[in-house]
Amino acid sequence: MAIIDVSKVKPLAGYVLVKPQEQPKKTDSGIILPDSHDEKPQHGEVLAVGGFYYDHGIKIELSVKKGDKVIYKKWGGNEVKFGEIEYQFLKNEDIMAVIK
């Protein structure tokens, strides 16, 4: 399978493509953390946004845009790997906040 250019991926209605923030490999004081500490990141950058969707007949606009830094649910979304990087496809309701 050919490597997909992530810039050409357009999420469907109600979905957002996010590049998770990398987890630090050492603490601020210089302690190197083992790979076993890796937890799923809960924040990242929005790379692409799908269109609006309807919920019980009500039109819902997505509340984020490309470039936003967001915090999302720990176990929300679906991981998709393009090349060596894992991205998250999140539903609009999985995003909890925009970081200003």
Q: Is 12 helix (H, G, I), strand (E, B) or coil?
A: coil
Q: What CATH number did the domain enclosing 42 receive?
A: 2.30.33.40
Shortest CA distance to 14 belongs to which of 74, 69, 75, 76? 76
Residue at 1 is within a domain: no
HSE-up of residue 42 (Cα within 13 Å, Cβ side): 9
In which residue are the tokens 């992530």 written? 6
Q: How confident is the model at residue 90 (pLDDT cuts 50, 70, 90)?
A: very high
Provide the residue range defining the domain that includes 77. 6-22+31-99
Residue at 87 is within a domain: yes
The number of folded domains in the chain is 1
User: What's the pLDDT tens digit per position in 69-79?
Assistant: 999 998 888 99
Is the pTM higher than 0.75? The answer reads yes
In which residue are the tokens 């393009």 written? 82
Kindly provide the b/e burial profile for residues 52-61, where b requires at least 16 CB atoms within 10 angstroms of the residue's own CB: ebeeeeeeee
